[in-house]
Amino acid sequence: MKKLKIGIIGCGGIANQKHFPALKSQNDKCEMVAFCDTIKERAEKAAKEFGTANAKVYTDYNELLKDTTIDVVHVLTPNVSHSPITIAAFEAGKNVLCEKPMAHNTEAAQKMMNAWKKSGKKFTIGYQNRFRTEVTSLKKACDNDELGDVYFAKAHAVRRRAVPTWGVFPDKAQQGGGPLIDIGTHALDITLWMMDNYEPASVTGSVFQKLGVLEHGPEGNLFGPWDPKTYEVEDSAFGYIKMKNGATIFIEAAWALNVVESKEAATTLCGTKAGAEIKAGMSYANNTLTYNRAHNGMLTEEQNSQGGAIAFFEGSNAKPEVLEAKQWLDAILNDKEPLVKPEQAFIVTKILDSIYKAASTGKEVIFED
């Protein structure tokens, strides 16, 4: 079987923690042949640890894209650069996986969509949380109509104090926003996917920069203190989304919020037949999926069992990022649609962008037909 040749653009934290190990696990399907980063030493380190023997190193992504032997490009850079790099990759004839979110605003995402449709290549966005066991299980339940008409939902992405203190996360010029665009995007993606509803009608929202700029704000932060003087993005944001079919979604996203319970990449669904809730995040040792309904005259709850382990054998469930990489490569090799479709990721970006706009103007954003 042909091995796909992959070029990596961006060799920072998400590349090293997620993509490099996941792609290495699929070495029967792919090989990493080129690495690009504005910091040359990072690209050189990545090439040495994960690349082929003759892997090339670049500091200019345009030079990497000139290599006609590269089949696939992974765009793993700060949010604001997603759009221009992805567009250039499509124009160079590459298949593209872009890390979440698709882009920092709707206009940039639309340009990516236009370039993708013109290219005829495969395109997906890095929403690996769809591949978690409890998430895929709930998706099956939704597809089988076990919850009925899901008319109210909550997308949860809240941390007490877990502001990322590395990279460019607090830099609005490079990221476009804070927790809403960073972790809120995962929660909203899961929620919309469960509902199979990508037709928003209107959005209102509130965005706060309260704790990030306080001198005592960094106290107790999981990743160590941040500098309030250079903290440029929101520390929490909230949105209220009305869908065209009448369904309503509430989204909450925070890196720092004075709450007891931390939920991240989690969702609550309320349907006409039953409800369901995924709890995940810092407050939970294990992710849980709970169904609730009326059954035989009683209100009942059903929860997933936590799988046990045998000494030296932890089971065969692959990590979400590995499953993501496998299905993405299979989609290219077998000419199938990837699980995360560009059209879906575009709506996620459009909604998040509209929450920021609604918060800044104080007005509801209405989506035109």
**Per-residue DSSP letters for 314-344?**
--SPPPHHHHHHHHHHHHHHTT---SS-HHH
Query: Chain-wide mean pLDDT for the chain?
Result: 95
Between CA 124 and CA 138 the distance in angstroms is: 22
Tokens of 237: 């944001």
Tokens of 143: 């597809």
pLDDT at 304: 85
First vs last C-alpha separation in the chain: 45
pLDDT at 194: 98
Per-residue pLDDT tens for 191-221?
Answer: 999 999 999 999 999 999 999 999 988 999 9
Confidence of residue 2 (pLDDT cuts 50, 70, 90): confident
What secondary structure letter does DSSP report for 60?
Answer: -
3-class DSSP assignment, residue 117: helix
> Helix H segments across 79-125?
82-91, 106-119
Between CA 264 and CA 292 the distance in angstroms is: 21
Is residue 310 pLDDT above 70, yes or no? no
Confidence of residue 73 (pLDDT cuts 50, 70, 90): very high
pLDDT at 352: 98
What domains are there in the chain, each with its CATH number?
4-129+324-339 (3.40.50.720), 130-319+349-366 (3.30.360.10)
> pTM, whole model, 2 decimals?
0.95
Per-residue pLDDT tens for 122-147?
Answer: 999 999 999 999 999 999 999 999 99
DSSP symbols for 56-74: EEES-HHHHHT-TT--EEE
DSSP symbols for 145-195: TSS-SEEEEEEEEE-SB----STTTT-HHHHSSSHHHHTHHHHHHHHHHHH
pLDDT at 309: 52
Percent above pLDDT 90 for the chain: 93
> Helix H segments across 176-284?
179-182, 184-195
Per-residue pLDDT tens for 325-339?
Answer: 999 999 999 999 999
Between CA 269 and CA 263 the distance in angstroms is: 15
Tokens of 219: 């106290």
The one-letter amino acid at 254: A
